[in-house]
Amino acid sequence: MTTHHPITPAWTCGGCGIDWPCPTRRRELLAEYDHAPVSLALYLAAHLVDATQDLAHVPAGHLHHRFLRWTR
């Protein structure tokens, strides 16, 4: 079980303290959703929606890149 879960409202990683999803969690998610990329995108999009409320000061493009773009 991972320790790399988001800590809100700052959206930092509970395992390493950097922005979530951190590189470790990204690798874990890619492995976990290996044959389900749409499910991964939906999972991360739900987190993105929550994060936009907490991180209203962060540009939307940055949040999109942080939460979704890396999955391609």
- Enumerate long-range contacts of 43-51, CB under 8 Å, 24 or more apart: 44/68, 44/71, 47/6, 50/8, 51/6, 51/8, 51/11
pLDDT along the chain (72 residues), means of 10: 94 98 97 96 98 97 96 86
Q: Within 13 A of 64's CA, how many CA atoms are on the CB side?
A: 3
What is this structure's pTM? Answer: 0.91
